[in-house]
Structure formats: C-alpha cells, structure tokens
Amino acid sequence: MKVLATYSIKGGVGKTAAAVNLAYLAASEGFHTLLWDLDPQGAASFNFRIKPKVKGGLRSVLLCKRQLDEVIKETDFLGLDLIPSDFSYRNLDLKLYDARKPDKQFRSLIEPLAQEYDFLFLDCAPSISLVSENVFRAADLLLVPLIPTPLSMRSYDQLLRYFRKSPVNHLALLPFVSMIDIRKRLHKETLNSIFYDRKNVMRAMIPYASQVELMTVRQAPLCSYDKHSVPALAFARLWEEIKTHL
C-alpha cells in the first residue's frame, strides 16, 4: 500500500480538491483506494455525502478500541472507501501527546489496512503540528499544492526549512501548482520563478476553474461526472505524473 498525503501549512490551496479527485482516479483504475479525511471540518467527507462522524469519536480509534477497519465507509464509487472526519479530530494533537510514541501512531494504525488497500490518501488540515509529523512518518509521498503567489511560496519554503531541520526518510515531496489563473500577472511571474528555482515541481498544473468550486454542490469528485472538463483533465495528468514517482 502506498500512502499519499495532500498537505500544506497554508489553508485553502486545493488540498481537498486534489485528494478527492486523485483518490477517485486511483479507484477508477481498479486500485482499491482509501481516503482518510483528517480535517475536522470534514470537507472531503462532505464531497462524498458521508456524515463527518466516527462512532465513538477519535478516542475509540486511537485507543485501538475499534479497529480502523470498522469506521470505514464505502463511497458511491467502486473501489473507493473513506474514513470520515470527526469533530473530535480538532483535539487530535492532544490525543496524540497522550500516546506512547506520539509521532508514530498513524503508522501503526494504518498497518492493518496495508493488505486490503493499494492506495491510502490522507487529506490533512492546514498547520504544522504533531498530526502532520504523524502524517510525514506514515506517508510515502507528500503532495503539496502551491498557489503561484509569493505568500504561498513563503509557506512552502517554511516547509522545506522544516524538513531540512528534521528530515524524514523515505518521504518524497511532490509540490504541484494549484489554482493557477494565467490571466493574473502575479501568477505568471511567480510561476516563472517556481519552475526556474525548483526542479521537483510537477509539470501538471491545476487551473483555477469554477467547475472545481461547484464540486461542493454536486458533492462528488469532478472527475466522476465531468471528466472531459479542463480541470478534470488536469487532475488526470497530475495523477499520471504522480504514478511515475511511485
């Protein structure tokens, strides 16, 4: 099982949009895929019409009272399952502190799923915290959306500094350009410098498009109902490129 996390320190950059569509694309190719909505706001769960609620809350899962397997919900899409978000996730950090090896909790939690699933996507809440440290240790790939603005790039540099200080073995960082609007001069200029400086940024870019916003109305992955739209094709290209890094 490969673990892919969508992550950024900054909020509202397209993490959830990417996680939802990429997970859908993986499943539609026949890979048994699980998406874990780690954001207490439950945006990913909402996109699949699944109630953001875990029976017994987070406690019961972390204390291993319930196997993670028992809280999984099948989505409407063949081969794609989801672990819903829960409001109690907002205290996830505190709960992890209580655990014995606080930064390796996730790894052991997801281990039993490795037989069953080919891909696990983690959709994270923005911030850098004990939760994200757990995610870094559990993930094979970290997908980081970058909006081509100086502010977004600054928080990416922050992340790079963090990894320089406390490196995580085996974790590959895959940044990609998200919500780009080529009519904006700022985006264009920042984009040039991104590709000039940072070689590992992925080729595929997700454009700013109203269809992505409308996903929250349809409550389904864009790639499932409008797969020929420009942003859906962009997600498909992104997925193809990600697979070359696995």
Partner 1 sequence: MNTLIFDIPRNQSVKATESLFRQHFHLRKQVDRVTTRTYLDTFDWRVFKSGGVLEAESDKTGIWLTWRSLGADQVYGRYPVTRIPRFVSDLKVTGFRKRLEKVLGVRAMVPIVNVQSRSHVFTVLNLQAKTVLRIEIQSDRAPYQSGGKSRIRRKAMLGSRIHVFPMKGYEKTVDNACTVLQEKCHLIPAVTDPVLTALAAIGCEPGIVSQKPTVADPVQRTDTTAKYIFRHLLETMVQNENGVRQEIDSEFLHDFRVAVRRTRSLLVQMNNVLSRQRISGFSREFSWLGKVTGPSRDMDVYLLSFDSFKLLLPKEMRKDLMPLQEFLGRHRVTEYQRLIRVLDSERYRVLKRNWKRFLGLPPPKRLSLQNAGRPIIDVASEKIWHVYRKAINQGNLILPEAPATSLHQLRKTCKKLRYLIEFFQDLYKKNKVSRLINSLKVLQNNLGEYQDLVVQQITIKKFIHAMEEETGLTDNTRNAMEMLVFRLEQRNLRVRMEFAERFSEFSSPANHKLYRQIFTTQKKPYGGTR
User: Which residues would be at the binding site for partner 1 (CB under 8 A)?
Assistant: 1, 28-32, 48-51, 71-74, 76, 78-79, 81, 115-118, 219
Whichever of 92 and 212 has its CB closer to ligand ATP, that residue is 212
Residues in the site for ligand ATP, rule: CB under 6 A? 11-17, 39, 43, 125-126, 179, 206, 208-209, 212-213, 216, 231
Q: Binding partner of residue 208 among ligand ATP, Mg ion, partner 1, none, CB under 5 to 8 Å per kind? A: ligand ATP
The nearest distance, CB 115 to partner 1, in angstroms, is: 6
CB 35 within 8 A of CB 25: no
Q: Encoding tokens for residue 73?
A: 């919900």
The nearest distance, CB 37 to Mg ion, in angstroms, is: 9
- Give residues 1-20 in contact with Mg ion (rule: CB under 5 A): 15-16
Q: Binding partner of residue 112 among Mg ion, partner 1, ligand ATP, none, CB under 5 to 8 Å per kind? A: none
Q: Residue 43 interacts with Mg ion (CB under 5 A)?
A: yes
- Give residues 21-40 in contact with Mg ion (rule: CB under 5 A): 39
Whichever of 81 and 123 has its CB closer to Mg ion, that residue is 123
The nearest distance, CB 44 to ligand ATP, in angstroms, is: 8
